[in-house]
A and B are shown apart, each in its own frame.
Chain A
Amino acid sequence: MALVEIRDIFKSYWLHGKRIDVLSGVSLDIERGELVSLVGASGTGKSTFLHVLGTLDAPVAGTLRFDGRSIFDLADADVARFRNTSIGFVFQSHFLLPEFTALENVAMPALVQRVDRTLALSQARTLLERVGLGARLEHRPGELSGGEAQRVALARALVLRPALLLADEPTGNLDPATGEGIHQLLREVNRDLGITMVVVTHNEALARSMPRRLRLQAEKVLPA
């Protein structure tokens, strides 16, 4: 059984009463441990697809099965719990919480789950050391460089070992060299931790390096 089964996803926006279709009947399977890239022109709805996949946005119709479980049928609070435990997000901006240190930011998903504070912080420390930020634990997001912040965000997405990591142009705001470091990290995470990954990117080189490549075109997701 595939880890993620997407069937007949429809998503539209209404702008001044006019309908704009973004996804029309997207169906897709993602196997456990896969590393998937998703490319497409700007504004085709790659982020929207990722958001629907991560239960952050509501589609018009369709089903999403995760591990055989129909996610859209769950109650709000259960969807939140699912998002907390099973999905990690990395966005184009790091979206770290400005009032908290790097360490606390990474520990946040565990704290949401009410893991004991010291345990959560020690897990976060291990992970931050692994992404090479052992010296920046007590820094606030404002005191970190773009690449460092993005690595903290990646560590935050991984702290609970989610089954699926969704990355939305994770290197879009970074220079090529720093971006390459993040790409390397993503591949390592997929290889070492076996975490399934969907990476939305404009970076053709990165997309080509992934085992499975998808393209969002004409409101459909097709193999690239």
Chain B
Amino acid sequence: MSSRPLPVPATLLLEEVARPRWLLRAAGVLLAASGLILFLLAVQRTGATESLLSALALLAAGWGSLAQGAFALATAVRPAPPLVLAIPWRWLLAGAACWAAGWVLLAASVQGAKANDEAPSAAAKAPLYPPLAAWRDFSLGTFAAYAAAILGSEVVLVLLQTWLASGTRGLGVAPPSAFVLSLLAAALFAFTAGALGASRARRLAAPEATIAVLYLGTPLPLLLTVLPAFPGLSLWVGYRLREVTYLAELIGRPEFAYWLTFTLLVLALALGILSGFVAGGSGTLDLRAGFELFVSTRHVQVFRPRLLFGALLVLLLGIVPPLLILAVLRAADAAVERTRIRALGMRDPMLAAAAQRAYVEKAQSATAMMTALSVGGVGVGVMALVIVLSVMSGFEADLQQKILGTNAHVVVLKYSDNGAMPEYADVVKKVEGIRGVVGVTPFIFGQVMIASEGNVDGTIIKGIDPATVGQVTDLPRNVLPGGSIDWLDTPEKIPARRPLHADSSDDDVVHRKGSGEEAVLPGILLGRELAASLRVLTGDRVTAISPLGGGMGPTGPIPRSRAFRVAGIFYTGMYEYDSKFAYIGLRDASSFLDVKGATGVEMKVADVDDARRIAGTVLQALDGYPYRTKDWGEMNRNLFSALRLEKLVMGIILTIIVIVAAGLIVATVTMLVLEKRKEISVLKALGVPDSGILKIFLSEGLQIGVAGGLLGLLSGLTWCLFIEKVGLRLDAQVYYIHNLPVKVEPLQTALTVVIAVLVSYLASIFPALRASRVEPVEGLKAE
């Protein structure tokens, strides 16, 4: 041994320090950490902790140096007053020294590969097996492709959405549709660029992808998130991102929307990378999968009628009833089969043995059980998503219908003249011609107290034009039988319920038709709950008191009161409206509330989702100030924001069920891979490339996802149909709604299934990659 030449001294040195390596490492970490603490103490002394922390936060996203550079440039152009800082040099130097020494120790603790203590082998001169030396470097081209994918897709999304949605310089598509279209385009962009990058690199190139996403993907959502916190920043770029932020704010938590969208884009990129690797792993684009499908279908056997039917039964009826049915069938089957085997045995024992063998072999393998379980798991997730989202959509649609039935889609108001609009007739004429507007009516808005003989209640009173209000709201249809909206114009037709002597001392609107007859009072429509609390019916008399209507007296504002006769009772189905709204004729309101002309003009549009754009067009047609417009979304923003956020959160929570099911898929496909190790080796020996093996096992996960997704869709829709047709009764006293509302939205439902299939696909990536890396010789050892 001593005759052998010594290795290089440096290697020797490393070998000698090999034993106390962990000690060195710990010491290094400790020193570096104390250096960091010293630094922090130094910073604390300067009092600049806050600005340093914000700079560090910028660094976390990887843009620190760039941002700081830009900042330095900006301060150079416009020099700020010099900041006087007492820099604690000693602390800083001590910290730096500790930090550097720590790293030196850490570096010293890194041990190289053990030095070879053997003599050069006989292979020393032979050519190296090339794959042994294949060094896969960081590929700049692939990194560029991934970076372009994530950053480009974000830019595409923002620009396209702005262009599509902007009413003035773009196409003026309704904001939600604009977002969906742009998201699709952006996802497609990310997918394509990712696929190109991966097929170019012929590997997944995870380091490149991570760096690209972290460094180039996060800044934009980060910017959008911090935008509201920096007034200067939002002044500078805020208005350019108007369309983006508007939509995100619709769900109430904008940052939530930004990061969710970002996640979706990253997902599209990941899928693109994987697809690029699978399709282009062989160097040429190969999208054919006939062979792989042929093999994988035999492996998982998802589309067996027995499995599908069983899973569907479980989804529709729950677990216990199908199990009972199964047990009964099994028992019957066993009885029949055993009788048959016994009869065979009477003739020839060999026949009986063969039949017995065949009967035992029918039992399912563990993997088949797992497959069925995963299909069921995905099915349960999709079913829950379909049902819950449909019910929530039903509630939302119900609410929207009630709100839009009572309120106009777009309202025109005026800033000046105390909010009055004497020229409302001109406004109506101008607005009527605008495309998309289907009905226009003027209104007066006020708040009064209404008193009957039994009770008093505060209400919102609205003056309407009975002739045209039907074009805008559902009010004429909501009036319950026994009353009529037309009686607001012709109060003399209202049948008085009780002989009453109208008190006309301060009332100039009351017309007496003659002594002994009923006083003709102006009509008023009351909501059902309001009428109930006032204990009045159609034909009864009520008194409205406007607290400010009487002008100023010596002691302050004088209330004005006036008697009305109930011309009808309406029912909208919305408790807030039925208990708080009252309608009177426009002219009565004008004189009673002392408003010249009207408060504003409200209108109905053909497409409710287009209301925002039409509101903009209306404002343009009216030449802007002093007019202003509001759309229904704006007027009820809180309610709909809450609803949408709730639905989104619900969707995410339920997606977790699908993700749990995806865990099942991971387990199932992993089991399949372990079970099929030998087959994988054989397939490789037959010349299936790694990407082919990958495709086989990916498609196995995909088949489970598709089967589960379709079963879940089917059972979910069946349940929705059941709820809709048969109905689940709700306590109307609590919910103000009789049946659980269901509205199956095709897009949302399809999206649910697509997400389930995607998640299954993603879940099978890991086991499929493991399958593709099985060494061929591993499974080919002789048994």
Contact = CB atoms under 8 A, between A and B. Distances in A.
Interface of A: 8-10, 19, 24-25, 47, 51, 54, 56-63, 72-73, 75-78, 80-85, 89, 91-93, 95-100, 108-109, 111-114, 117, 156, 168-169, 172
Nearest to B361: A142
Given A51-B777, A57-B777, A58-B131, A112 B123 contact: no
Nearest to A8: B126
A140 to B, nearest CB: 11
A112 B291 contact: yes
B281 interface: yes
B363 to A, nearest CB: 15
B132 A77 contact: no
B131 to A, nearest CB: 6
Interface string B349-379: 0000000000000000000000000000000
Given A61-B129, A91-B780, A93-B782, A76 B686 contact: no
Given A51-B777, A77-B282, A114-B288, 9 more contacts: A10-B126, A51-B780, A56-B776, A92-B782, A95-B682, A95-B780, A111-B291, A111-B294, A112-B686
B143 to A, nearest CB: 21
Nearest to A25: B122
A83 B298 CA distance: 24
Contacts of A109: 686-687
A168 B776 CA distance: 15
A172 B782 contact: yes
B688 interface: yes
B691 interface: yes
A8 B124 CA distance: 11
Contact of A72 (B130, B688, B689): B130
B727 to A, nearest CB: 48
A112 B126 contact: no
B597 interface: no
Contacts of B686: 83-84, 89, 108-109, 112, 156
28 contacts: A8-B123, A8-B125, A9-B126, A10-B126, A25-B122, A56-B776, A56-B780, A57-B777, A61-B123, A61-B128, A73-B130, A75-B283, A77-B690, A78-B282, A80-B690, A80-B692, A84-B687, A92-B782, A95-B678, A95-B685, A97-B295, A99-B298, A100-B298, A112-B688, A112-B692, A114-B290, A117-B290, A172-B782
A63 B130 CA distance: 9
Contacts of A47: 782
Contacts of A77: 281-283, 689-691
A169 to B, nearest CB: 7
A45 to B, nearest CB: 12
A83 B782 contact: no
A95 to B, nearest CB: 5
Contacts of A76: 131, 689-690
Q: How would you classify the secondary structure of chain A's contact residues: helix, strand, loop or mixed?
A: mixed
Q: How would you classify the secondary structure of chain B's contact residues: helix, strand, loop or mixed?
A: helix
A196 to B, nearest CB: 18
A76 B134 CA distance: 11
B127 interface: yes
A73 B128 CA distance: 11
Nearest to A82: B687
A63 B127 CA distance: 7
B288 A60 contact: no
Contacts of B128: 60-61
B684 interface: yes
Contacts of B122: 10, 24-25
A183 B777 CA distance: 25
Contacts of A108: 683, 686
A72 B131 contact: yes
Contact of A10 (B123, B131, B294): B123
B506 interface: no
A99 B692 CA distance: 18
Interface string B266-308: 0000000000000001110000101100110011000000000
Interface in B683-707: 683-692
**Size class of B's contact patch?**
35 or more
A58 B132 contact: yes
Nearest to B299: A99
B780 A62 contact: no
B679 interface: yes
A19 B679 CA distance: 30
Nearest to A99: B298
B783 interface: yes
A63 B288 CA distance: 33
B354 to A, nearest CB: 12
Contacts of A58: 129, 131-132
Contacts of B783: 93
A81 B687 contact: yes
Contacts of B123: 8, 10, 24-25, 60-61
Contacts of A82: 687
A100 to B, nearest CB: 6
A112 B295 CA distance: 10
Contacts of A19: 118
Nearest to A109: B686
Contacts of B684: 56, 80, 83
A99 B127 CA distance: 42
List of 3 A-B pairs having minimum Cβ-Cβ separation, nearest first: A84-B687, A77-B282, A61-B126
Contacts of B298: 99-100
Nearest to A56: B776
Contacts of B775: 57
B278 to A, nearest CB: 12
B687 A112 contact: yes
Contact of A62 (B118, B126, B776): B126
A100 B775 CA distance: 23
A172 B781 CA distance: 13
Nearest to A115: B291
A73 B133 CA distance: 11
Interface in B734-783: 775-777, 780, 782-783
Contact of A59 (B125, B129, B281, B777): B129
Interface string B665-686: 0000000000000110111111
B782 A169 contact: yes
Nearest to A219: B122
B773 to A, nearest CB: 11
A19 B122 CA distance: 13
B343 to A, nearest CB: 25
Contacts of B683: 97, 108, 112
A81 B692 CA distance: 11
Interface string B625-637: 0000000000000
Given A93-B782, A112-B692, A54 B685 contact: yes
Contacts of A81: 282, 687, 689
Contact of B689 (A51, A80, A96): A80
B764 to A, nearest CB: 19
A111 B688 CA distance: 10
Contacts of B288: 114
A72 B129 contact: yes
Contacts of B687: 80-85, 109, 112-113
Contacts of B685: 54, 56, 83, 89, 95
A64 to B, nearest CB: 10
A56 B782 CA distance: 15
A87 to B, nearest CB: 8
Nearest to B782: A92
A58 B132 CA distance: 9
Contacts of A62: 126-127, 129
A114 B130 contact: no
A78 B129 contact: no
A195 to B, nearest CB: 16
B132 A78 contact: no
A168 B685 CA distance: 13
B782 A91 contact: yes
A61 B130 CA distance: 8
